[in-house]
Structure 1
Amino acid sequence: MRNLRLCVCMLLIPFFTIKAQSVNSTHLKDTIQLQREQFKIKKLYVPVALIGLGIALNSNKPESFKNEIAEERNEHLFHFGTHIDDYLQHSPIAIAYGLDALGVKSKTDLANRTAILLKGELFNLVAVGIVKKYAHQLRPDGSNYLSFPSGHTANAFAAATFLSEEYKHRFKWMPYAAYGIAGTVGILRMANNRHYISDVLVGAGMGFLSMKLSYWTHQYKWGKRKH
């Protein structure tokens, strides 16, 4: 457990050292004013709380909270199984590009938006992979030791953050819809007996932070006018 906490703390260090800078938007092709998102410590409260709570609940004792939830699942949803979560985790990305294709412009132009997405997904993939390896937690269905954290949930929250950032300026309800989808993925991972609640909570926090880190550090070098 000590190694797990150390690993997660090391992953969070970069998030506390970022300094956001503004970018001159007059040289950009798109008419939307592009500016690197301002980093503020308070934006870490929710994801860090999710990760902290997930770690706190990640006890392997038989009577632990995560095992109690798993037992309730086995009692009431023993035969439940679906693959919807495999596709739903990526749906916010499809929605974002789909809206843009339909003419509903996003906050960021195509080149910069895609670069942000790829960086965020890479951050998420590496972070989740490292924690999975060193946490070495058995899945509730006993299939392997890659339970902690939930990769599907991390992917879903990274994608939801991407969709929210690109369209919350046009649709005030978009963050609720995006994170609602991501939360559904987390619930389905538990219903499918693939993850504990602790796995889902940490995955949610890590996915959110990974994509936000990509926005906070992006330089917006693409799409500038040539002189």
Structure 2
Amino acid sequence: MKPIFRIWIIMALLPLNNLLAQQLSPKDTIASTKVENLKFHYKQLIIPSALIAYGVIGLESDDLKLFNAIIKEEVNENIDSKITLDDFSQFAPAISVYALNFGGIKGKNNFKDRSIILATSYLLMGSSVYTLKNTTKVERPDKSSFNSFPSGHTANAFAGAEFLWQEYRDVSIWYGISGYLVATGTGMFRIYNDRHWFTDVVAGAGIGILSTKIAYWIFPYIDNHIFKSKKNVRSTMIAPFYNGNQMGVGMILNLK
């Protein structure tokens, strides 16, 4: 098995590592709607930090740049035509949370809370990706622009995958694993379509995971200080968007 495929398999199975790192207690039940159950633990930082660090080191490391070039060469030899599935698959894990709930499979948090969490995650992820793209100015493999690092599509997909994992891990870990598989596939397509280097994708994955984790950790503060008047909020709607060049998320609060 080639090293590249070993790395992708490891990234796809990240939820199993998360499960061990988070050390769920008996209080974390399926019926729970209190996001406070997700407590901060330094072990939860290991995987996303390592992914981000790999990408950042790759900005200056000749060895990692060479590895990027080798992967690009191998992929380009086998490309027949581009597959634009990644433009849509990046949103699939996050949308799945709402689809599952609509289908009657309840997750950890109610509609309003999880929407606020997802919006917070996208805000953190989007601002981080935008800042790094405009700071590092790495040329894309297809030489179309100088905003390759990190991969925004991959960050978006992994943010959604971690969101799906957190909301439905107590129902079945396979929901979370499926989200990570889709996110990993999104990253692979970004490389296949010659839009990103391997280091871009790895860093994007780490940023996405970490953004969602932070969103869950700080939600109690946001809920108590920004959305403290819960009686005034009737419903929340959140929807991602992509116009071919930009991506983001919109949130609408229906107030009394």
Report the TM-score when normalising by structure 2: 0.72
Amino acid at match of 1:195: H
Residues 73-152 of structure 1: pairs in structure 2 closer than 5 A: 73-77=75-79, 79-152=80-153
Aligned twin of 1:200: 201
Q: Percent identity?
A: 36
Q: Once the 2 structures are TM-superposed, how far is the Cα of residue 102 of structure 1 from its aligned partner?
A: 1.0
Instruction: List structure 1 segments (4+ residues) > 2 angstroms apart after TM superposition.
Output: 55-63, 220-226
Matched with 1:215 is: 216
> Which amino acid in structure 2 is aligned with residue 75 of structure 1?
E
- Partner Cα distance (2:61, 2:217) in 1: 36
TM-aligned CA deviation for residue 182 of structure 1:
0.5
Cα distance, 1:153–1:183 mapped onto 2, change above 3 Å = same
Q: Write the distance in 2 (CA, Å) between the matches of 1:73 and 1:39.
A: 39
Cα 1:114/1:33, change in 2 over 3 Å: closer
In structure 1, how many angstroms separate the alpha carbons of the residues matched to 2:48 and 2:116?
23
| More strand per residue | 2
Following superposition, the deviation at residue 83 of structure 1 comes to 1.1
Q: After TM superposition, list the pairs within 5 Å mapping 1:1-227 onto structure 2.
A: 32-36=32-36, 37-59=38-60, 64-77=66-79, 79-219=80-220, 220-221=223-224
The whole-number CA distance in structure 1 between the counterparts of 2:33 and 2:100 is: 19
Deviations 1:77-129 (A, max 9, x none): 2x330110000000012211011011111100111110111111011100000
Offset from partner CA, 1:110-166 (integer Å, 9 cap, x none): 111101111110111000000000010000000000100000000000011111111
Q: Deviations over 1:47-103 (max 9, x none)?
A: 1111112223335859711111111112222x3301100000000122110110111
- 2-structure distance, mates of 1:38, 1:84: 35
Query: For residues 223 and 111 of structure 1, do their structure 2 counterparts lie closer, same or farther at Cα, with a shift above 3 Å needed?
Result: farther
Aligned mates of 2:112, 2:33 — CA distance in 1: 15
Q: TM-score, normalised by structure 1?
A: 0.81
In the other structure, the counterpart of 2:243 is: none
RMSD of equivalent CA atoms: 2.3
Distance in 2 separating the partners of 1:100 and 1:174: 12
| Higher relative contact order, structure no. (Cα contacts within 8 Å, ≥ 6 residues apart) | 1
Letter in 2 for 1:66: N
The aligned amino acid for 1:154 is A
Corresponding residue for 1:19? none
* 42-51 vs 67-76, greater mean Cα deviation: 67-76
Consecutive unaligned residues in structure 2, runs of 5 or more: 1-30, 232-256
Q: Aligned equivalents of 1:202 and 1:35: distance in 2?
A: 27
Residue 173 of structure 1 aligns to a residue whose secondary structure is helix
